[in-house]
Structure 1
Amino acid sequence: MLTAVRSRSRNALTMLSALVTLTAVALAGCSASTTPSGPAAPEASASRSQAAPAGDAFPVTIPSALGDAVIPKKPERVVTWGWSSQDAVLALGVVPVAMPKNTYGGDADGVLPWDAEKIKELGGTTPALLSSDSGEVPFEEIVEARPDVILAPYSGITKDDFAKLSKVAPVVAYPEKPWALPWQDQIEIIGKALGRSAEATALREKTAAYVASLAQANPVLKGKSFLYGAANEADQLNIYRASDPRVALLVDLGMTVSPSVAALDGDPTSGSYFYGISYENVGKIDADVLVMYFGSQKEADKFVADPVIAAMPNIREKRFAPIVGESFVMASSAPTVLSIPWMLDRYVPQLAAAVGKTGA
């Protein structure tokens, strides 16, 4: 589920071309006198009447690894793609017109719990939910949403995807690597794209202060080493590199990445955010705490029941802090200003208890 794969069908691209043409004609006929259909940000008229904070004048240009997004005016119809961009948009008080559907971790509609809470708080309605299970960019659905901007800074879109989506609206992609944007940068980039930089900076500082308060309240975490892994492939442990945002979040809590993460990495320049080792090598892991995620308790129980895994010191000595439940997996895999407080209040006590068993 959490492996980033992107592909496209020839029929989808053909439909995209036709839809872009039709959309351009429709928009030209609508003009500003017609109110666009579909969900909109709550209190949109009020927000448009307010002067933008200093530094938020439009047009604005946001560079990325795939090209520049030139946003001519403050966006009103926002589409998000990839992981978690909708969190930053909602946190800034805007309800997207379309965002990815999350069948993994979401509610019956495919909306993540912290997003559902925020939409309700804002008095908005559920946006159009973009098909995301296949891993393909849903070009036709994005065109139908008639976006002013497409926000995909935490995604795996390709240069070809970027070029095609840019025919629909300006596309904000990742600054350097796919699937590797820290939450701090995400809120700042999206804040700039929406003309809400001051609000974004305030949210970044508030969330950082919250994480720091948890670290201060749990001094047992300070300096303890951890390895963050996943058992989502048969007889293989996937290990997340130090640059991954889920790893960085634990570092922000005062912990340190185990030297084993670098020592076991057979190809550190691969560009991926994780790598795999076979179960026969798990005995080489040396970490105060093993952190892993599981979609259900049944999956976690199956993992620790394997004789090779059960023999690991971390498992034997209960220096193991699993993140269990699909929503928790999503919250920790792509941390944001919304998901961080949603999950850390519940997870940090468990993490601290596992660290406490190190006896040091």
Structure 2
Amino acid sequence: MRTSYLRIAAGAAAVALVAGCSSDGSSSSTNSDESGAFPVTITHHFGETTVDSEPSSIVTIGFNEQDFVLALGVKPVATRGNLSYDYRNRPWAQEALGGTDIPEVGSEELNLEQIANAGPDLILGPYSFIEQGQYDQLSEMAPTIADIGGYDDVPAATWQQEFEVIGKALGMEQEAADQTAELEQKFQTTQDENPQFAGKTLTLGFDMGDGTYLVLGEDDIRALFFKDLGFEIPAVTETISPENLNKLDTDVLVMAGASREQLLADPLFAALNVVSQDRTAYIGAFSEDLPSALGYSSPLSLNYAIDGFAPMLAAASDNDPSTVVPAPAN
């Protein structure tokens, strides 16, 4: 059951459904001087971790941390593999990887022996969903940063919050802030170029393959991507049965987990207004690049996702039923 859960939750890369994201509040805190010099102390699920000096041997143990480190021009010495996606060939990271094949330290389960053998001086897992026992063992190897949100009453971290924490842990706070501002501007520019996005309701749905559908809400970073573009999305993630399929019938629908042909084979799905009026974007399985970019929700993948989704969303939201929504570009 846990394997199935993780495969759907991480999708192609990144996130457990229950963790999701909220744009309200901060899920981490740091203590450093105004220059961002070390030491820096970061608060996370299991307490506080102090990084005394600039790390040189970083292991990333979460589902998307590798991208954040790469965005800062740093290559981890080892990383967690992906559950269902050919992540080594993800297009948005190839330039940053520069042909480097980073060793894995597990995928569904972390291999603690391999992590120790990598000789880390910093272990990054702000989006890893590790447990207390794992954290205790990892902390004996090197300073370890566990989840910075998604536990107790703390909302899971946005990509901005995760980038801030990783930037501080690496002594590159200003670089992370500069890239954050640049990416936020790209989101805003895309909204400005598509004013029809504002206020339209959008559902990101996942075909579970058993007649039910998962609707992703503001507690999932994949759905928050569309909120960042100006759409209104459901508040929470929920599984809907065929009897409640009308919950998919929003202004715009983005469907993942199955092909267009497979989805349209269901007459109840095909009869939805959002489907029959061609206001639906079909993005395929989470093992493919574009939906996987949502899963990573990183400074690298979100740039790619904006470029890939903008043409589809523009066509789906233009109030013209004759406009054909394009398939994802290869």
Q: Smaller-chain TM-score range?
A: 0.7 to 0.9
Note if 1:127 corresponds to 2:102: yes
Note if 1:92 corresponds to 2:67: no
Give the gaps of 5 or more residues in structure 2.
1-6, 12-31, 322-330
Q: Structure 1: how far apart are the matches of 2:201 and 2:297?
A: 20
Displacement after TM superposition at 1:54 (Å):
4.4
Note if 1:118 corresponds to 2:83: no
Q: 1:155-198 CA deviation, whole Å, 9 max, x = no partner?
A: 21112221121111111122221693211111101000000001
What does 1:24-173 align with in structure 2 at a 5 Å threshold?
A: 54-102=34-82, 104-106=84-86, 110-120=88-98, 125-132=100-107, 135-173=108-146
Q: Structure 2: how far apart are the matches of 1:99 and 1:113?
A: 18
Note if 1:221 corresponds to 2:197: yes
2:165 to 189, 192, 215: 189
Q: Structure 2: how far apart are the matches of 1:209 and 1:4?
A: 27
Structure with greater contact order relative to length (CA < 8 Å, sep ≥ 6): 2
Q: Structure 2: how far apart are the matches of 1:113 and 1:100?
A: 18
Q: Structure 1: how far apart are the matches of 2:147 and 2:106?
A: 21
Q: Structure 1: how far apart are the matches of 2:176 and 2:314?
A: 30
RMSD, matched Cα: 2.3
Note if 1:204 corresponds to 2:180: yes
Moved over 4 A (4+): none
What does 1:318-357 align with in structure 2 at a 5 Å threshold?
A: 318-324=278-284, 326-357=288-319
Displacement after TM superposition at 1:116 (Å):
2.4
Q: Structure 2: how far apart are the matches of 1:56 and 1:284?
A: 46
Q: 1:13-45 CA deviation, whole Å, 9 max, x = no partner?
A: xxxxxxxxxxxxxxxxxxxxxxxxxxxxxxxxx
Note if 1:247 corresponds to 2:209: no
2:268 to 308, 312, 327: 308
Partner residue, 2:9: 3
Give the counterpart letter for 2:294 in structure 1.
S
Q: 1:220-251 CA deviation, whole Å, 9 max, x = no partner?
A: 21111111111134111111121322222211
Displacement after TM superposition at 1:89 (Å):
0.4
Q: Structure 1: how far apart are the matches of 2:89 and 2:161?
A: 23
Give the counterpart letter for 1:337 in structure 2.
P
Q: Structure 2: how far apart are the matches of 1:357 and 1:322?
A: 18
The percent of aligned pairs where both chains have the same amino acid is 34
Give the counterpart letter for 1:106 in structure 2.
D
Q: Structure 2: how far apart are the matches of 1:211 and 1:249?
A: 9
- Are the equivalent residues in 1 in contact too, given 2:259–2:283 (CA < 8 A)? no
Partner residue, 2:252: 289
Q: Does the C-alpha gap of structure 1 residues 358 and 168 become closer, same or farther in structure 2, counting only changes over 3 Å?
A: farther
Displacement after TM superposition at 1:340 (Å):
0.9
Give the counterpart letter for 2:37 in structure 1.
A
Q: Structure 2: how far apart are the matches of 1:125 and 1:84?
A: 17
Give the counterpart letter for 2:90 in structure 1.
L
Q: Structure 2: how far apart are the matches of 1:128 and 1:234?
A: 36
Q: Structure 2: how far apart are the matches of 1:284 and 1:251?
A: 18
Give the gaps of 5 or more residues in structure 1.
6-51, 263-267, 269-273
Displacement after TM superposition at 1:113 (Å):
2.4
Give the counterpart letter for 1:115 in structure 2.
A
Displacement after TM superposition at 1:286 (Å):
4.1
Partner residue, 1:17: none
Give the counterpart letter for 2:283 in structure 1.
I
Give the counterpart letter for 1:81 in structure 2.
I
Displacement after TM superposition at 1:105 (Å):
3.0
Q: Does the C-alpha gap of structure 1 residues 190 and 86 become closer, same or farther in structure 2, counting only changes over 3 Å?
A: same
Q: 1:237-274 CA deviation, whole Å, 9 max, x = no partner?
A: 111121322222211111112xxx35xxxxx6xxxxx3
Task: Name the TM-score, length of structure 2 as normaliser.
Answer: 0.81
Give the counterpart letter for 1:137 in structure 2.
L
Q: Secondary structure at the match of 2:47?
A: coil
Partner residue, 1:235: 211
Displacement after TM superposition at 1:4 (Å):
5.7
Q: Structure 2: how far apart are the matches of 1:302 and 1:54?
A: 55
Give the counterpart letter for 1:92 in structure 2.
L
- Are the equivalent residues in 2 in contact too, given 1:80–1:98 (CA < 8 A)? yes
Q: Structure 1: how far apart are the matches of 2:136 and 2:264?
A: 45
What does 1:267-282 align with in structure 2 at a 5 Å threshold?
A: 274-282=237-245
- Are the equivalent residues in 1 in contact too, given 2:217–2:224 (CA < 8 A)? no
- Are the equivalent residues in 1 in contact too, given 2:187–2:228 (CA < 8 A)? yes
Q: Does the C-alpha gap of structure 1 residues 166 and 214 become closer, same or farther in structure 2, counting only changes over 3 Å?
A: same
Q: Structure 2: how far apart are the matches of 1:315 and 1:216?
A: 26
Q: Structure 2: how far apart are the matches of 1:100 and 1:328?
A: 20
